[in-house]
A and B are shown apart, each in its own frame.
Chain A
């Protein structure tokens, strides 16, 4: 079974530039999550999708971050414009269960460096 795929794996941009990350969840997984993990901290949930609908985006900085999940499969997370404090690893995860309580499978992450 293929795991959660993410791209790119690494990205370096200057502040005020835009960047987009892509995630392809495990086939059949209805729930998709985006997390931000700053060095030395645990993952912080940014947004959760159930199919193509948003379940929770309470911690997403909506003035600069946006995410979509078209057709309930792939998802993209965008930052525009980026700030220095956005430097982090962005993790995508998916779970089979339709509830938020199920086991999550994580992708390898995208390491973003904002200079």
Chain B
């Protein structure tokens, strides 16, 4: 399976702290994408990192990719209550999603 798997399954932090979640996958990829899902806005694309990139930033988001370890991490800095959501990585040619990391940011 090319499925990405997120870790941890659940994460609870205080507002203002940083949140880090990881994604591991099994096969070679063209790119890896991170998505956020909450009840209010559905599933939203956050960031795409290509296989020849090692790090990418977008606002408070920082994504790293280590193709040798087949892993990626998503860092959210200075978290806000609005960041409370499930975060998924998607990999492979056919968009295999993992089971997600449920992030709770406590105000």
Contacts and interface: CB of A to CB of B under 8 A. Distances in A.
Interface of A: 33, 35, 40-45, 48, 56, 58, 91, 93, 100-101, 103-109
B81 interface: no
Interface in B1-59: 30-31, 33, 42-45, 48
- Per DSSP, chain A at the interface is loop
Contacts of B94: 45, 48, 56, 58, 100
B95 A45 contact: yes
Contacts of B99: 40-42
B75 to A, nearest CB: 20
Given A42-B97, A106-B42, A107-B42, 5 more contacts: A40-B99, A45-B95, A45-B96, A100-B95, A106-B44
A103 B42 contact: no
Contacts of B93: 100-101
29 contacts: A33-B95, A35-B97, A40-B99, A41-B99, A42-B88, A42-B97, A42-B98, A42-B99, A42-B100, A43-B88, A43-B97, A44-B97, A45-B94, A56-B94, A91-B42, A93-B43, A100-B93, A100-B95, A101-B93, A103-B45, A104-B33, A104-B45, A104-B95, A105-B45, A106-B43, A106-B44, A106-B45, A107-B42, A109-B42
Interface residues of B, number: 17
A109 B31 CA distance: 25
Contacts of A108: 42
A103 B95 contact: no
B44 to A, nearest CB: 7
A43 B45 contact: no
Q: B30, B45, B99: which has the most chain A beta carbons within 10 Å? A: B45
Contacts of B95: 33, 45, 100, 104
Contacts of A43: 43, 88, 97
